[in-house]
Amino acid sequence: MTRRVLGVLALVAVIGAACSSGGGGGGNESQSPGGVSQRGFTIAVVTHGQASDPFWSVVANGVKAAAKDEGVTANYNAPPTFDMVAMSQLIDAAVASKPDGLIVSIPDANALGPSIKKAVAAGIPVISINSGSDVFAKLGVLLHIGQTEEVAGQIAGQQMKDAGVTHAICVNQEVGNAALDLRCKGFDEGLGQHAEVVPVDLNDPAGITQSVLGKIQSDTAINGILTLGPSASTPAIQALQQANKLGQIKLATFDLSTDVLQQLDKGNMLFAIDQAQYLQGYLAIVAMTQYLATGAIPLGGPDHIILTGPQIVTKDNAAQVIKYTNEGVR
């Protein structure tokens, strides 16, 4: 996986160098006063996560930076909540605006598939990011950028098992998101036993705290908790603090936040699985721009997946990662 990511980044560097020296064909280009080659491409980006969300704001930062570097226009949209009907409508609206390219996340292929297929049928190239690694090809999507969620879950389970966890729960803050279901499934596989899935509402942090607190109080055999994102990990940290179990019950999470990194640095959390979401936004814009300009696209491998994760953050490297989080790139 490391070689693949490094290879992709090297390819991006080569592409960027060619771009800055006037290489690349297609599109109407002009030179801005700052020397950036301005292309006439417009790329629509529709995800299930809002740019105001701490996780998705980093994705949006990547989109914005790449659009500036590549000299294209990128329009980022997302529904105000996890709402697949609203998201499919946003994709339909994006298709109707006739962008040169479309970038989407695919948390629910059944709900979003028809809208994505409309884009493909209209001749609009599509790249998926973040979620959808298991379904994107069936929808006619050219490339997926992210992590394979079940494999990431397996790694989380194995890490927990190696740390001595024998009875765990998996806290799911977005029930209906296929990517999160795959994380819990993989977690079971890596752990070697079933971890009860605790469904919670990401819009109700206090409710998440109470749900986790109730679980560990009613079942004292629980010695491991996996949360699937920062919106669940912070309330879980608070639940463990209230129960005086922080640092005793093994806690790990997917994705990063300031709270997570601080607790990792203190040794109160076991690990976090980082999917480098800035790269998901950045590389998608670069790949789409180059496809529009040259007709070629980086494939990542036979499966057409460019892996940005899983990358493991522990106490050993948390302090370093905090710096990048403060810069809005992790």
Q: Do the domain assignments include residue 314?
A: no
63 plus 123 within the same structural domain: yes
260 plus 178 within the same structural domain: yes
What is the 8-class DSSP label of residue 104? E
214 plus 70 within the same structural domain: no
Q: Do the domain assignments include residue 309?
A: no
266 plus 284 within the same structural domain: no
Mean pLDDT of the chain: 90
Cα(179)–Cα(103) distance, rounded to whole angstroms?
17
- Of 258, 274, 290, the position where a domain reaches its end is 274
Cα(51)–Cα(79) distance, rounded to whole angstroms?
10
CATH of the domain at 187: 3.40.50.2300
9 plus 135 within the same structural domain: yes
State the pLDDT at residue 303.
Answer: 94
Q: Is 7 left (phi over 0), alpha (psi -120 to 50) or beta?
A: alpha
Q: In this model, does residue 21 exceed pLDDT 80?
A: no
State the pLDDT at residue 203.
Answer: 87
Q: Do the domain assignments include residue 324?
A: no
Higher pLDDT, 8 or 44: 44
Q: Do the domain assignments include residue 306?
A: no
Q: Do the domain assignments include residue 329?
A: no
132 plus 200 within the same structural domain: no
State the pLDDT at residue 36.
Answer: 52
7 plus 133 within the same structural domain: yes
Cα(44)–Cα(311) distance, rounded to whole angstroms?
28
Q: Do the domain assignments include residue 317?
A: no
What is the 8-class DSSP label of residue 36? P
Domain span at residue 87? 2-147+275-298
Q: How much is the pTM? A: 0.83
Taking a C-beta distance cutoff of 8 angstroms, is the pair 257, 38 a contact?
no
Domain count, the chain: 2
Q: Do the domain assignments include residue 95?
A: yes
142 plus 160 within the same structural domain: no
Tokens of 23: 């290489």
What's the rounded mean pLDDT across residues 163-175?
96
Cα(93)–Cα(172) distance, rounded to whole angstroms?
30
158 plus 194 within the same structural domain: yes
Question: pLDDT tens for residues 58-115?
Answer: 999 999 999 999 999 999 999 998 999 999 999 999 999 999 999 999 999 999 999 9
270 plus 247 within the same structural domain: yes
Tokens of 189: 């596989």
Question: pLDDT tens for residues 279-325?
Answer: 999 999 999 999 999 999 999 989 999 999 999 999 999 999 999 99
246 plus 286 within the same structural domain: no
132 plus 213 within the same structural domain: no
